[in-house]
Amino acid sequence: MPRFRLRIAYDGTDFHGWQRQEPADAPPLRTVQGVVQEAVADLLGTKVDVVGASRTDSGVHAVGQVAAFTADVRVPIERLAMAITARLPRDVVVLSAERVHDDFDPICDARSKCYRYTIEHSSHPHHPRPLFDRNTVFATPYALDAARMQRAAAGFVGTYDCVSFAQIDHGRATTVRSIFDCTVRTPAARRVEIEISASGFLYNMVRIVAGTLLEVGRGRIAPDAIPEIAAARDRRRAGPTLPPQGLCLRWIWYGALRTSPAEMQPCTE
């Protein structure tokens, strides 16, 4: 039976994350996986298991989530994305659909992922907090030094134990990850974008990295302290976990390996 890969975008504001959740004593929670599975089932007339590459949390957004399912699809492939989208709520869109090999695994076949965290900052009382993009930007009243943050961002790059930047109950067998790039940009006045790509991420890792860089931007953590914080393997040494609304999954890459096979970690997502 053929297998298909979907690229999905969604506004995570009104979702309980990606992963389907069915409490024993209550109706299923509204999740992205849940509404996508329902849309695909409605289109095909049969129940389908749609597996996503990243289990984004409540309130987290995506423009490059990847999911896959196996089914007998009679809709022409060039119309499949549009046909599924027509059955989805307005806060989810299937951007593309393609046929893939039968054993494609959106989780374990991923070689790198990229997230972006967006912050609006100001120390002036006459600069109002974001209004129209309030669900996709985290607002802080503190003025941030983006140059300090960029110097610190370079310290995250490498392959090492990232437990200092993970929630304590992360639930992973290994906390070693390869971080390929971490960049801080200033696309507009009082706005900072933190973009990080890695082989994979631990629970709340990007939000903790963003919180640590925010503390650097405020002057509370030195720009050259990141390697020391990582080496401590102590969550208390890093910055706070920032709220979910500033976080967006940008892309997932399935191409050739960026690192040698010896450096790649087993599938732990």
> Hey, which residues are catalytic here?
57
Q: Which of 107, 106, 9, 20 is nearest to 61 (CA)?
A: 9
Residues 75-113 as b/e (b if ≥16 CB within 10 A, e otherwise) read: eeeeebbebbbebbeebbbbeebeebeeebebbebbbbb
Q: State phi, psi for 78 to the nearest 5 degrees.
A: -70, -15
Q: State phi, psi for 131 to the nearest 5 degrees.
A: -110, -65
Q: Which DSSP letter does residue 102 get? A: T
139: which residues sit within 8 A by CB, 6+ positions away?
119, 120, 121, 129, 130
Token digits of residue 97: 């659909």
User: What is the pairing mode between strands 191-198 and 112-121?
Assistant: antiparallel
